[in-house]
Amino acid sequence: MKKLPYEWLEEIINLAAEWVVAVDRDAKVIFMNTAYCEYLGTTQQEAFGKDVRDVIENTRMHIVLQTARAEIASIHTIKGSEMIANRYPFYVNGELVGAVGAVMFRNAEEWMAYSNKVQPLMEELNYYKKRFANELKSKYSFEDLIGTTESFIEAKQLAARASTSQSVVLLTGKSGTGKELFAHAIHGASTRSVFPFVRVNSASIPEQLLESELFGYEEGALTGAKKGGKKGKFELAHRGTIFLDEIGDMPLAMQSKLLRVLQEKEIERVGGQGTAPVDVRVIAATHRNLEEMVKQGKFREDLYYRLNVMKIDIPSLMERKQDIPAIAAVLLRKLEKNFDRPVINLSKEVESRLLLHTWPGNVRELENVLERAVNVMDGSVIRLDHLPLYLQEEPSQEAGIRSVKTPVAVMPLKYTLQKAEKEAIQHALCQSANKTEAARLLGIGKTKLYDKCREYGL
């Protein structure tokens, strides 16, 4: 700094900041750059040595000296124009010797121009921060698990006990029973709740990509790989919980690699030369019979026993029909918010019909049925004609015995075909190991099968 000419130093200050003033311990001006002087209609010689209050209108430099506290982004009015200024106490060798002030924005227009440039960036940053936070935390608690049936209460109590341990949890039950909600609740009540909750659907990720999704990859390991590599789901879940949904659909080759992670608590990225430790609690879920798959050689026996530490079987909706009104009420409250609708109720006729249905799609099917009804209804009460056709035409049951109305109404052909189509899809799904095989049996494409499953709430 001693080698830097004074003229250079002053020019650097003029270029680096708009207007700058420095005062000594007695609030006397000891420096004011040329731009500030020109705006105030004075010169550096005239301002030097004067009390800053006699030079700058509405100044607070003397107050900063009294309080020894900085004032950041303070509004300062000069000549009727509101400016944004920063003021700092100035220390040398630990001793307060003065203060320095700088005008950052000379008028509202400058501030707005700056804000217009920065605001979109801040909004984008906040969007991704919120999205990242929402995706990596549990959304449901045990209060969201609705039911009073004994088998459901037992499952809920076992899940609550599981949340206090670090053991692997295996959630079993038919599709749509709420296995993911249980996983959320277990993580949310555990000591890992402040750390990430990462979800992975083993059935939805192509086999050739599953390893890199779970364990990540190093730079150059894959065609089109991200520069610097990419973290896998296990690394993202470090110190938290990873939820492996549809574990029964995981390829055998990946099962052996998953077993190693569970045993050694370390992962190796695709293309990596070494391993990295991970501290992750695993919750797995499946609607398949893993014991039968082990006998058939479709699931590794050693992995099954490694996962089957705390097994929680979630009952189907058919097994707890008495919970349907309470579950429907909760789902309707959710739909009221999503659709910005007033209070929505079920008619007695609809409630009775819901209790008669077998619900192969379980709670997911019930939610789809109610959402469909809300979309087509006009008032605030869901009536029978608001339900899907396959529910409108369903015969009643008395004491578990299916009774037939007399006379039996003739259904239009397209409704009969829809009902037959749904039953055929249900049968194919029950006879298949996965949706790809079910689509092959039905002679349709996998995409079309997914569309039909959504249409019928399967």
Residue 113: helix, strand or coil by DSSP? helix
Predicted pLDDT at 127: 66
Predicted pLDDT at 262: 93
Do 68 and 88 touch, CB atoms closer than 8 A? Answer: no
Predicted pLDDT at 429: 83
Query: DSSP string covering 288-348, please?
Result: S-HHHHHHTTSS-HHHHHHHTTEEEEPPPGGGGGGGHHHHHHHHHHHHHHHHT-S--EE-H
Q: Which phi and psi (to 5°) does residue 353 adopt?
A: -65, -40
Locate 122 and state its tokens: 């801040």
Burial 283-321 (b: 16+ CB within 10 A, else e): bbbbbbebeebbeeeebbeebbebbeebebebbbbebbb
Torsion over CA: 26, 27, 32, 38 (sign): negative
Predicted pLDDT at 400: 43
Predicted pLDDT at 408: 45
How far, in Å, CA of 302 to CA of 206, rounded?
A: 24
Say which DSSP state 4 is in.
Answer: S
Do 246 and 202 touch, CB atoms closer than 8 A? Answer: yes
Can you give the pTM of this predicted structure? Answer: 0.61
Say which DSSP state 416 is in.
Answer: H
How far, in Å, CA of 75 to CA of 86, rounded?
A: 9
270 pairs with which residues across the strands? 217
pLDDT, averaged in runs of 10, over the chain (458 residues): 74 73 94 88 93 93 93 84 86 91 71 61 68 71 93 95 95 94 95 92 87 87 71 92 94 92 92 89 95 94 94 94 94 91 90 90 92 90 89 56 44 71 83 80 85 79
Predicted pLDDT at 342: 84
H or E element at residue 284: strand 281-286
How far, in Å, CA of 255 to CA of 170, rounded?
A: 15
CA angle 313, 170, 133 (to 5 degrees): 115
Q: Which phi and psi (to 5°) does residue 308 adopt?
A: -85, 55
Do 170 and 310 touch, CB atoms closer than 8 A? Answer: yes
Q: Is the peptide bond before 407 cis (omega within 30 degrees of 0)?
A: yes
Non-local (6+) Cβ contacts of 23 within 8 A are: 29, 30, 52, 61, 62, 65, 98, 99, 100
How far, in Å, CA of 412 to CA of 14, rounded?
A: 85
Predicted pLDDT at 435: 83
Residue 96: helix, strand or coil by DSSP? strand
Question: If you compute the radius of gyration of the chain from its CA atoms, what whole number of angstroms results?
Answer: 34
Locate 114 and state its tokens: 């700056």
